[in-house]
Amino acid sequence: MTVSTEIKQLVVAKTGNEAMAEAMRQINPDVVAAYPITPATEIAQIFSSFVSDGLVNTEMVTVESEHSAMSACVGSAAAGARAMTATAAQGLMLMAEILPIAAALRLPIVMPEVNRTISGPINIHCDHSDTMFCRDSGWIQIFSENTQEAYDNVLQAIRIAEHARVRLPALVTTDGFIISHAMETIKILPDEEASAFVGAYRANYSVLDNANPITVGSIDLQNYYFEHRLPMINALNEAKAVIKQVGREFGEKYGRAYDLLEKYKLEDAEVAIVCLGSTAGTTKDVVDTLRARGQKIGLLKIRVFRPFPVEDIAAALGGLKAVAVLDRSDALSGYGGPVFTEVCSALFNSAARPKVINYVYGLGGRDIDLHMLEAVFMRLLKIKDGGDLGQIVDYLGVRK
Amino acid sequence: MTTTLNEEKYTANLSASELPEGGIWTEAGSSLMRKTGDWKVEQPVWDKTKCISCFTCWAYCPDSCLKVENGRVAGVDYDHCKGCGICANVCPPKVSALTMEKAR
């Protein structure tokens, strides 16, 4: 990682929600349409004060539901505006009908999204069930480990989503309360630098261009629907290279480089944990502790879950002996969590592949602590040494 | 308004790479090529001798199917009319220039 000393960044104390609202202020979108929901409420609330204080030129639309919020974003984006919103859990699920439409229309809407468990029972705390529920909607999904990443990821998401080879909506997640409401010291870019990094938005088309009238969202039956889906599928694949390129540029300019994955002490590791979001931070701590005791262990953090980095995951895990995939949601498929099955799928055609087990953990905001993660590593080390694979899918930290 | 339509583009089997991004349709007037009125059960019948061209039907029709010529109502566009009956319903009772009949 090259650290830039040329651009003076501001060191500030911010919660995850404050950091994301700050990034939105610097992006200065044309339209923000939002509806409040815990734990994401603050993002649009703080942003609305920026609007009231005249710090941004945004048209703020206070709608009556998340379905309307996403619909207003689609409408304004189709008119050529840079549109943003923010939500969580039930709000994301209420948007669900409109999410694939935004993707199919190739509208680069960017949405901070705070991971919160979906009802029921009703619960406002963190797990990844909301984001995973919308994983096949054509949206790029970027997970943040901490507040710094949440800020950096929102800025990068604009560049990624609006890239000519991508033009797809993107959501950037934080973990509910764990990141959204916890204050951390972060570095933020000067306003003009952030503004220059995201650049000006040039829409691909506009329904308000009377000189060139177009139809958006018309019916598309057997003869053309498939041909209209294929470019979107290709764009998601293209996005992988763009995400890497934008992450590299961010690193070169500001000293914090990003990739589809983050490999932590994986080089000579024999076993590893794979996880997303804030748990990666906790896992790094455990890796350090056990490494100090001579254990060859590591972490693979999946930063981008959509598009799924199949090739990079296969390359990163192929040489290991045993891997535990940690899922903060259950796919209710009878076979563990969605990250687990996709990681298995990525490895299936690899010549060398590790044994893979799955732990579903942290549902409804249940804490995951150092001891639990240490126990997972200990089990992996036993499997590595030829021990019985045992139960492939298990549940961590639940009273069975 | 006269519209130049690329009928071949509309009916040909173009490949994914030949299509505009986002599934948008870039030429106005494509509905002229798409006859959507062939499944109606009832259809309005317009009586030229009774019509006073008040344009109530024209304003209410959800599919813009009341034809206008020289500033006067000039009949129904059966290629696109779905037979909903709104025009006949809003036609002033004293005029009753539009009545619904079995379509076929």
pLDDT in tens, A79-111: 999 999 999 999 999 999 999 999 999 999 999
Amino acid at A386: G
pLDDT at residue A3, as a whole number? 56
Give the distance from CA A361 to its chain's centroid.
Answer: 18
User: Where does the pLDDT of residue A343 fall: very low under 50, low under 70, confident under 90, or very high at 90 and above?
Assistant: very high
Contact A105 B30 (CB under 8 A): no
Nearest alpha carbon to residue A247 among A163, A318, A323, A159 = A159
pLDDT above 90 covers a percentage of chain A that reads 95
pLDDT at residue B1, as a whole number? 36
Helix (H, G, I), strand (E, B) or coil at A187: strand
Contact A205 B28 (CB under 8 A): no
Tens of pLDDT along A261-287? 999 999 999 999 999 999 999 999 999
CB contacts, 8 Å: A223 with chain B: 13
Do B45 and B16 belong to one domain?
no
When divided into structural domains, chain B yields a total of 2
| d(CA A165, nearest CA chain B) in Å | 11
Query: Does A301 contact chain B (CB < 8 Å)?
Result: no
- Compare A210 and A187 and report the one with higher pLDDT: A187
Give the distance from CA A77 to its chain's centroid.
Answer: 21
Contact B23 A105 (CB under 8 A): yes
Do B3 and B14 belong to one domain?
yes
Q: Which of A109, A208, A215 to mutate to test the interface with B (most CBs of B within 10 A)?
A: A215
A277-304: average pLDDT: 98
Considering only residues 27 to 66 of chain B, which have any Cβ-Cβ distance to chain A shorter than 8 Å? 28, 30
Contact A231 B16 (CB under 8 A): yes
Do B46 and B14 belong to one domain?
no
Of B14, B15, B26, the CB nearest to A214: B26
pLDDT at residue A236, as a whole number? 98
Domains, chain A, with CATH or none: 10-254 (3.40.50.970), 261-396 (3.40.50.920)
Do B88 and B50 belong to one domain?
yes
For residue A21, what are its two tokens? 């609202």
Cβ atoms of A358 and A324 within 8 Å: the answer is yes
Do B77 and B54 belong to one domain?
yes
Query: Does A219 contact chain B (CB < 8 Å)?
Result: no
From B18, which residue of chain A is nearest by alpha-carbon distance? A227
ipTM over 0.90: no
Cβ atoms of A257 and A1 within 8 Å: the answer is yes
Count, residues in chain A: 400
Q: Which 8-state DSSP code applies to residue A2?
A: P
CB contacts, 8 Å: B19 with chain A: 224, 227-228, 231
Tens of pLDDT along B13-33? 889 999 999 999 887 777 888
From A225, which residue of chain B is nearest by alpha-carbon distance? B23
pLDDT at residue A172, as a whole number? 98
Tens of pLDDT along A191-209? 999 999 999 999 989 999 9
| Chain pair A-B, CB pairs under 8 angstroms | 48
Beta bridge pairs of residue A172: A112, A142
Contact B23 A218 (CB under 8 A): yes
Is a pLDDT exceeding 70 seen at residue A1? Answer: no
Count of CB atoms situated within 10 Å of the CB of A253: 17
For residue A377, what are its two tokens? 């590593």
pLDDT at residue A145, as a whole number? 98
For residue B40, what are its two tokens? 């109606």
Count CA atoms closer than 13 A to A273's CA, side-chain side: 27
Do B59 and B101 belong to one domain?
yes
CB contacts, 8 Å: A218 with chain B: 23, 25
CB contacts, 8 Å: B25 with chain A: 214-215, 218
For residue B3, what are its two tokens? 């519209």
CB contacts, 8 Å: A105 with chain B: 22-24
CB contacts, 8 Å: B26 with chain A: 212, 214
Nearest alpha carbon to residue A394 among A374, A370, A376 = A376
Do B53 and B96 belong to one domain?
yes
Contact B22 A107 (CB under 8 A): yes
Helix (H, G, I), strand (E, B) or coil at B102: strand
Do B23 and B67 belong to one domain?
no
Do B98 and B52 belong to one domain?
yes
CB contacts, 8 Å: B21 with chain A: 106, 167, 204-205, 231
Is a pLDDT exceeding 50 seen at residue A332? Answer: yes
DSSP annotation string for A34-86:
E---TTTHHHHHHHHHHHHTTSS--EEEE-SSHHHHHHHHHHHHHTT--EE--
Do B25 and B74 belong to one domain?
no
Where would I find the H helices in chain A?
16-27, 41-52, 66-78, 89-95, 99-104, 129-133, 147-162, 191-198, 225-254, 279-292, 310-317, 338-348, 370-384
Mean pLDDT over all residues of chain B? 90
Contact B15 A227 (CB under 8 A): yes
Q: Are strands A355-361 and A304-306 parallel, antiparallel or unpaired?
A: unpaired
Amino acid at A268: D
The CA dihedral of A7, A8, A13, A18, to the nearest 10 degrees, is -40
Amino acid at A88: A
Nearest alpha carbon to residue A107 among A20, A27, A31, A4 = A31
CA pair distance A32, B33, nearest whole angstrom: 38
Tens of pLDDT along A108-154? 999 999 999 999 999 999 999 999 999 999 999 999 999 999 999 99
Query: Does B3 contact chain A (CB < 8 Å)?
Result: no
Cβ atoms of A113 and A131 within 8 Å: the answer is yes
Is a pLDDT exceeding 80 seen at residue B5? Answer: no
Tens of pLDDT along B32-88? 888 899 999 999 999 999 999 999 999 999 999 999 999 999 999 999 999 999 999
Helix (H, G, I), strand (E, B) or coil at A158: helix
Do B47 and B13 belong to one domain?
no
pLDDT at residue B11, as a whole number? 67
pLDDT at residue B33, as a whole number? 81
Is a pLDDT exceeding 70 seen at residue A40? Answer: yes
DSSP annotation string for A283-298:
HHHHHHHHHHTT--EE
For residue B8, what are its two tokens? 């071949």
Looking at residue B74, which CATH number applies to its domain?
Answer: 3.30.70.20
Task: Please enumerate in sequence order all residues whose Cβ is within 8 A of that of A256, keeping only pairs 6 or more positions apart, or say none.
Answer: A1, A148, A152, A187, A250
Nearest alpha carbon to residue A136 among A229, A249, A253 = A229
From A221, which residue of chain B is nearest by alpha-carbon distance? B23
Residue B89: which domain range?
36-104
pLDDT at residue B3, as a whole number? 43
DSSP annotation string for A276-336:
-TTHHHHHHHHHHHHHHTT--EEEEEESEEES--HHHHHHHHTT-SEEEEEESS--SSSS-
Cβ atoms of A280 and A326 within 8 Å: the answer is no
Rounded to the nearest 5 degrees, what angle is found at the Cα of A12, between the Cα atoms of A9 and A17?
115
Of A106, A217, A223, the CB nearest to B21: A106
Do B97 and B69 belong to one domain?
yes
Is a pLDDT exceeding 70 seen at residue B6? Answer: no
CB contacts, 8 Å: B30 with chain A: 215
